[in-house]
Amino acid sequence: MCFMNEYASSGTEWIRNVDWKELARDYGTPIYVYSEEFITKRARTLKDLFRELNVDLYYAMKANTNPEILRIISNEGYGLEGVSIYEVKIGLSIVQDNRKIMLTSCCLDDETLLEAIRLGIKINADSWNQLSFLLANNHEDIGVRIDLGFGAGHHAYTTTGGWQSKFGIGIDEFVHFLEKESPSGKIRRLHFHLGSGISSPEIYIKALDGLWQKILKYRAFAEIDIGGGFSYPYRKEDKEFDFYDLKKNLEAFASNYEKVHGFSPRIILEPGRWIVAGGGVLVAKVTDIKTKSGQTFVTLNTGMQHLIRPALYRSYHEVLFLQKDTDFMKAFIAGNSCENADVMPFERTVPASLKRGDLALVLDVGAYGYVMSSNYNSYPRPREIIIRKNGKIEETISFDKYLLEILRK
Ligand SMILES: Cc1ncc(COP(=O)(O)O)c(C=O)c1O
């Protein structure tokens, strides 16, 4: 727990420069507030890092589909990766070139697949039925999502490989298929996505090695897509994901590949959380402070219906208060939905002078925040505000309205 004046994470410096009281006065609370400067900087950092490698970056829209955010990231040269046909349509409203859109979904019926094929986007088959359908329809840009038998992530629910993972085609079955069917040239890309919130490159290297030993040593593919999942440092003591190490290993992989196959594959990365998490703040108001049987609860006018990560994954989010107190107390911070799960994990240290109506800033909610929100308990979803690089403040279009407009076209 820390307070505005002592929050030191260099990544979220932008929060110091915002007049939160004025914002809350102008737009009410709760509101999601995003920083264009922060998001641009992160997107550009990755792009610059991988510039000399044969790498394409596809932003994973599921992390945050706010159209303004998609526009910012797409303007940095990123493609957009979607996990539903609706995300694909949103992506297509942002980019001009349909090949800049990729779809990877575990649950596509033939009708949806046909629509995706007609759109001429990149599609990663997640099952045998999807793969057969794409091959039978001679789709030009087919990838296959491989399950290497393991995954990783910040929580079991965000681990998307291995036992009990519903995603992808098992690697051994796929090797067998390649030996039997030899659909050479028709499959352009091998893809894996191990999970979300992975804090070290090691598991990606293990996965690349698994692909190499079982498939790539013998057979070349034009593109190798290593998915997303790169962690974000939610706590002060968390380290940034080591992209330098990942890059070094990708270089070694590509050079080995070239020696064996005579060309270097295009490597695809699908970062979501890493780019946007720190670019969002949920601004709320304290509604009550109550002590019961020795436990103090500070309740807010927002909750798990607006930010489900703490309840679903026991995820940690820093909460800032604007007071410069010297006296503190211990308290749990609780949401306003009628669920006992709606309490932030871990007791926090909060200013002793905290009172009803004070502002609370829930940090690092730019990823998997608004996109996972609902109207549970009939609470309206928060408005979304973006702070432009020049300091201008704009409210963005309501997501439901945007989606409806796109679907009507
Ligand atoms: C296929 C795919 N790619 C990329 C991502 C992005 O993950 P993250 O936001 O952790 O980078 C996800 C998220 O689960 C995903 O399912």
Report whether 135 contacts 183 (CB < 8 A). Answer: yes
179 and 241 in a single domain? The answer is: yes
Residue 7: the pLDDT is 42
Q: Which residue minimizes the CA distance to atom 10 of ligand 1?
A: 229
262 and 284 in a single domain? The answer is: no
240 and 290 in a single domain? The answer is: no
Angle between helices 36-49 and 243-261 (to 10 degrees): 40
Q: How many Å apart are CA 143 and CA 126, to the nearest integer?
A: 9
Residue 236: the pLDDT is 86
Pocket of ligand 1 contains residue 382 by CB under 6 Å: no
201 and 254 in a single domain? The answer is: yes
Q: Counting atoms of ligand 1 from 1, which one is nearest the CA of 270?
A: 4
Which of 46, 58, 62, 102 has most ligand 1 atoms within 8 Å of its beta carbon, as the pocket-test mutant? 62
Distance 102 CA to ligand 1 centre (A): 12
Residue 192: the pLDDT is 97
Pocket of ligand 1 contains residue 122 by CB under 6 Å: no
Among 271, 297, 312, the domain boundary falls at: 271
Among 271, 306, 322, the domain boundary falls at: 271
390 and 284 in a single domain? The answer is: yes
Q: Which residue minimizes the CA distance to atom 5 of ligand 1?
A: 228
Residue 300: the pLDDT is 98
Residue 181: the pLDDT is 84
246 and 130 in a single domain? The answer is: yes
Report whether 306 contacts 337 (CB < 8 A). Answer: no
Task: Tally the C-alpha atoms within 13 A of residue 406's C-alpha that lie toward its C-beta.
Answer: 18
Residue 11: the pLDDT is 54
Q: Which amino acid is at 408?
A: R
For the chain, the domain total comes to 2
Pocket of ligand 1 contains residue 83 by CB under 6 Å: yes
DSSP state of 215: I
Pocket of ligand 1 contains residue 273 by CB under 6 Å: yes
| R_g of the chain, CA atoms, integer Å | 22
pLDDT tens-digit readout, 203-236 = 999 999 999 999 999 999 999 999 999 999 999 8
Distance 139 CA to ligand 1 centre (A): 24
Domain that holds residue 221: 97-271
CATH of the domain at 113: 3.20.20.10
Task: State which residues of the chain have pLDDT below 50.
Answer: 1-10
Among 211, 242, 271, the domain boundary falls at: 271
224 and 102 in a single domain? The answer is: yes
Q: How many Å apart are CA 79 and CA 59, to the nearest integer?
A: 6
Distance 331 CA to ligand 1 centre (A): 34
Q: How many Å apart are CA 283 and CA 406, to the nearest integer?
A: 29
CATH of the domain at 304: 2.40.37.10
Distance 193 CA to ligand 1 centre (A): 7
Which of 270, 309, 368 has most ligand 1 atoms within 8 Å of its beta carbon, as the pocket-test mutant? 270
Which of 102, 196, 274 has most ligand 1 atoms within 8 Å of its beta carbon, as the pocket-test mutant? 196
Q: Is residue 26 part of a domain?
A: yes
354 and 290 in a single domain? The answer is: yes
Residue 123, both tokens:
């599609």
Distance 273 CA to ligand 1 centre (A): 8
